[in-house]
Amino acid sequence: METKRQLDMLDKRLAEQKYIAGKDYTIADIAIFPWYGGLVKGWLYGAGDFLTVHEYTNLLRWAGAIGARPAVKRGRMVNCVSGELSSQLHERHDASDFDTRTQDKLAS
């Protein structure tokens, strides 16, 4: 019930503002996104049905907008060990690794 309370609180906040702290994307969104964004997008725990995350439309909008950011997409690839091989970058040492060292390129 505590998780549902938090989801509800965030959804209500995001009904008033584009981002957690207001109109601009801030460190608050960056810090919260992996937990709450991942939860409502179905990337964590498999608890979305139980928590009825589809009801939190503002939180889903926020998670979709942040998840679509190029830097967030790249960040989610680093250390990823599941899903499409092209979305897995087990180690990142250089910006070019996103183009040359994803698992689909190393597997061949």
Tens digits of pLDDT across the chain (108 residues): 899 999 999 999 999 999 999 999 999 999 999 999 999 998 877 788 889 999 999 999 999 999 999 999 998 888 888 888 888 889 888 889 888 889 999 876
Domain around 1: 1-68
Q: Tell whether 28 and 76 lie within a shared domain.
A: no
Domain tally for the chain? 2
Full-prediction pTM beyond 0.95?
Answer: no
Give CA 108 to chain center in angstroms: 29
DSSP secondary structure, 2-62, as one string? HHHHHHHHHHHHHHH-SBTTBSS--HHHHHHIIIIIHHHHT-STT-HHHHTGGG-HHHHHH
Q: Would you say 15 and 8 are in contact if contact means Cβ atoms under 8 Å apart?
A: no
86 lies in the same domain as 54: no
Which CATH number fits the domain that encloses residue 2? 1.20.1050.10
Residue at which a domain ends, from 36, 53, 68: 68
Tell me the three state secondary structure of residue 84. Answer: coil
